[in-house]
Structure 1
């Protein structure tokens, strides 16, 4: 940590490391004498004289580096230097201090004070934490990594709690008006012989309400670490009994450390040590604060990812039909596979029309992710409305092109619109830059629907809108019509034409009496395409 001081030792600058070490914001620290804070370091107030001498030398242009002596006074409860009651205390260590003179704006002289606390050995633990914690964006795994790194090396037990409102399906309620903390335990571990027993008593994903008087609620409310003993543990566990709970009362030194990222409280971590092990010292609390800051950043990233993933999943569920009702005379099978684990810009819809006819629309907004999904949603709703108004396919595309011109979420989209009458198996088809439908015939051959390849939606000059052409086509008895998006046929290793040829072969090889089996067979044969881009597939067969 680094602090800027006047030659008289008054604070003028306060680093982030100092804020974590002393639990004071810059606004609280600037203007106060630094010697007032010495009691919070292991060197204690006895180092005030040597420190002021060092500051005086630095103010006269003479840098100084040295070790301030430790505080050898006994703790009020009879424990020397932080040792457990009845056991020898740990050897106290000094604080390494470097005083460097410097000139600030206006020509004034200041001193840059760099304090290296005695827990510099804790850097090894922090290095390991940086390597092991946050290996993924999974919230639960991040919490489990945290407790695995700290127990038993730093503490005899550790638990990570996250505010329940951050994990709710919506933004969650506001903080409790009475100051209670509503949290969920997402990871816990004990350095004991019966981990299964502790897991039963303190289950993961248990939601707990801690009253305002508890150290946990106070830690969240103030944003500062709270150190407490076994009596507070007993108060918070008054509703529980049993052998393991009695064992928990052996944990006599505890820290409730807030998890704060980007100025927002996320929850807290609890570290505890048992009798027979030295209780937490100032060195340990600073190490816990540094560790919590790193963990909070990882948890914040995991929460943000969880929220984005939840948004994408909800968007997918609301915009891609989960069930399609086929009219008499037709079978329809459909599949949608987003790229990776999110949602993309591929979309489709089947709309019933008067007279038993149906309109089928398949589209692909450029890109994938939430942005492409937003464009997909707008175009899908617009297409559903237009075909429901019984506009012919070519006019549907012309109107969609005008709508796509105003969409900022996507640069362009391809689309294919088809109207089919099951009574005579006749179709009318129009395309806006979309891959052509394939028709798998009962004799084992596959041919393309000859559809004019119009411009994609949203790329034309608004002053000269495209005139899309629609063509008639027929679906013979027993044939299967395949509509799809380019994610099924295009990749870096092969062109669209090569991919369409592979799809044609897969259609022939997967032909089955059950159309659902055919759809599954096609995707199985083309499995190497999955995951790189969004995929939509619709199969239509007259019956």
Structure 2
């Protein structure tokens, strides 16, 4: 057997279920100091030459011969070496075992670099924690786990209160080197929420923000009250470290590393390495939790900003489409507000920024706009008052907005704009033109010395025409100018105008589908009902 070139230094041995050598790699020859010809046909336990190695090796072989993969650390060197046993089926259906011995444990810097690289590649807290324990087990410890304070992860933002001195944590990841780690994982599942009482090693670790080393009875006390046949195995973990996860001056939780009998207990160098590993884990978990909170806030905010169901008044048909950007949170929005006398108000707006701050500002402007039009203010006055509100927001946001009030009985419209793209009017004869509107400054741009002017104009929707309101995500891109985008929208309106208004909306979106992704897109179509 040749050495695997992808894993330099790795030793592989092919064995019968009773441990007789049938295959021997170059790496095994270097590790055990015997050539392949001398090893073939010999019991591996006779070749080890280390006291205490035969018994755990036979346990591993027995598990693999029964069809169960085994992984763990065997005393093949002073510090022990990671070993994996995999069942195989040879010629004639004979059962064989492939034993793989990894190179001696890497140095601390290499372990830290790998942990930082792997955990830092994800913004998911569970994956970040999982990468940390995967790096450390079995090279550094026989078991590892990461626990984070439940109050940092609770979806309802109001987790159960912690009694004084207790620790309420959630297990984000666990890894064990054992003959059947799946059984251990069932006993200690990911996402389980646990309350550790005051005085327990884990509660003391959190309270003091210091590493706590323990084992023996203290290890069993940490699982007091649980049942399961594997809990007796806790007694084999004689050297344990609870290491605080600290980032930005606060403790997020703790990591646990443990070693079993037969492996040297953690020494000062190991404790220093464990502290460094926990520091890497804390930074990655902190970033992941921060992203999770912001993403959850953004998702909830985005859902709240999604346009509500639009009801058209008698005499008008209305179709609308809202296509969120593939990433981030935008501030596009629109409202159709019923008014006394059968009239309606259409308000459409677009934040000039992105993210949670922009969306929150637009949410406030949207509520204000809805209230102002319901109070009967004309469009120009609505925008003037919105401009004053925009300047008082905690997070100043420039925004465009257009407000229109329409009487379905006469199709007469009053309209004002604050820097928003003018609506398009698609006529039954196949021509398209801008619907008359005077341009005003965007909201939030003016000040007391230079107040913004939002002139109000009047216009009438011709019978059979389609009035299209939109945000710049539908017409603006890095590939073309706004004028080119408006021209494409006009062509799409003409090409899609033959069917119902809903079909027209679908057709426009389909024809301009290459615009989707970089920015939110809002489209609202209004068409008078036919005779």
Classify the TM-score, shorter chain. Answer: 0.7 to 0.9
Q: Distance in 2 between matches of 1:256 and 1:470?
A: 71
Q: CA 1:237–1:496 in 2, change beyond 3 Å: closer, same or farther? A: same
Give 1:289 deviation, angstroms: 0.4
Q: 1:519 to 1:303 in 2, by over 3 A?
A: farther
1:166 touches 1:172 (CA, 8 Å); kept in 2? Answer: no
Q: Residue 476 of structure 1 corresponds to which residue in structure 2?
A: 463
- Is 1:357 the counterpart of 2:346? The answer is no
Aligned residue for 2:520?
534
Distance 1:539 1:196 in 2: 57
1:298 aligns with 2:309: no
Q: In the alignment, which residue of structure 2 is the partner of 1:200? A: 186
1:464 offset after TM fit, Å?
5.0
Cα contact 1:161–1:183 (8 A) shared by 2 = yes
User: Distance between the aligned counterparts of 2:329 and 2:256, measured in 1?
Assistant: 37
| 2:147 pairs with 1:122 | no
**Pairs aligned (count):** 431
2:438–2:454: 8 Å Cα contact kept in structure 1?
Answer: no
Counterparts in 2 of 1:65-144, with a 5 A limit? Answer: 90=78, 121-144=107-130
Shift of 1:304: 2.0
Give the SS at the match of 2:164.
Answer: coil
CA displacement at 1:481 relative to structure 2: 3.0
Q: Deviations over 1:406-435 (max 9, x none)?
A: 446335321111122334444332222211
Q: Taking structure 1 as the reference length, what is the TM-score of the superposition?
A: 0.71
Q: Alpha carbon RMSD of aligned pairs, Å?
A: 3.1
1:414 to 374, 396, 400: 400
1:448-491 deviations in whole A, cap 9, x for unaligned? 323222222233463454141322131534x5432111122112
SS at match of 2:169: strand
What displacement does 1:524 show? 4.3
Q: 1:394 aligns with which of 370, 373, 380?
A: 380
The corresponding residue for 2:352 is 366
**Contact between 1:339 and 1:368, CA under 8 Å: does it hold in 2?**
no
In 2, distance between residues paired with 1:249 and 1:317?
50
Describe the superposition over 1:222-265 as per-residue Cα deviations: whole angstroms up to 9, x where unpaired.
11111222433333333333344444443332211110112211
Structure 2 partner of 1:266: 252
Do the aligned partners of residues 280 and 405 (structure 1) sit closer, same or farther apart at CA in structure 2, a change above 3 Å counting?
A: closer
1:426–1:474: 8 Å Cα contact kept in structure 2?
Answer: yes
Distance 1:218 1:521 in 2: 64
Contact 2:372 2:382 in 1 (8 A): yes
Aligned to 1:152: 138
- Give ranges in structure 1 of 5+ residues lacking alignment: 1-85, 92-118
* Aligned partner (choices 356, 363, 366) of residue 380 of structure 1: 366
CA distance in 1: counterparts of 2:471 and 2:122, whole angstroms = 31
* Alpha-carbon distance in 2 for matches of 1:150, 1:330: 66
How far 1:515 moved relative to its partner? Answer: 5.1
Q: Return the alpha-carbon distance in structure 2 between the equivalents of residues 178 and 408 of structure 1.
A: 37
Could you say if the C-alpha distance between residues 424 and 202 of structure 1 is closer, same or farther in structure 2, counting changes exceeding 3 Å? farther
Whole-Å Cα distance in 2 between the matches of residues 316 and 529 of structure 1?
Answer: 20
**507-516 or 180-189: which moved more?**
507-516
1:292-349 alpha-carbon deviations (Å, 9 max, x no partner): 0121112112222222223333333334444333334444444444445332232222
SS in structure 2 of the partner of residue 209 of structure 1: strand
Task: State the alpha-carbon separation in 1 of the partners of residues 509 and 182 from structure 2.
Answer: 43
Structure 1 Cα separation of the partners of residues 499 and 506 of structure 2? 13
Aligned 8 A contact 1:227 1:256 in 2: yes
Give the 5 Å matches for 1:181-200.
181-200=167-186
Query: Is contact 1:336-1:537 (8 Å) kept?
Result: yes
Query: After superposition, what is the alpha-carbon deviation per residue over 1:134-178, rounded to whole angstroms, capped at 9, x for unaligned?
Result: 213222221122122212221222211111111124654696232
Q: Any idea what SS the aligned residue of 1:344 has?
A: coil
Question: Structure 1 residues 526 and 225, CA, compared in 2 at 3 Å: closer, same or farther?
Answer: farther
**Separation of aligned partners in 2, 1:426 and 1:436:** 17
Decide whether aligned partners of structure 1 residues 331 and 204 sit closer, same or farther in structure 2, where only a CA change above 3 A counts.
Answer: farther
Distance 1:160 1:541, change over 3 A: farther
1:224 pairs, out of 210, 213, 217, with 210
The one of 485, 492, 502 equivalent to 2:488 is: 502
- Assess, with a 3 A threshold, how the Cα gap between structure 1 residues 503 and 272 changes in structure 2: closer, same or farther: farther
CA distance in 1, matches of 2:503, 2:489: 15
Unmatched 5+ residue regions in structure 2? 1-73, 80-104
Moved more, 401-410 or 425-434: 401-410
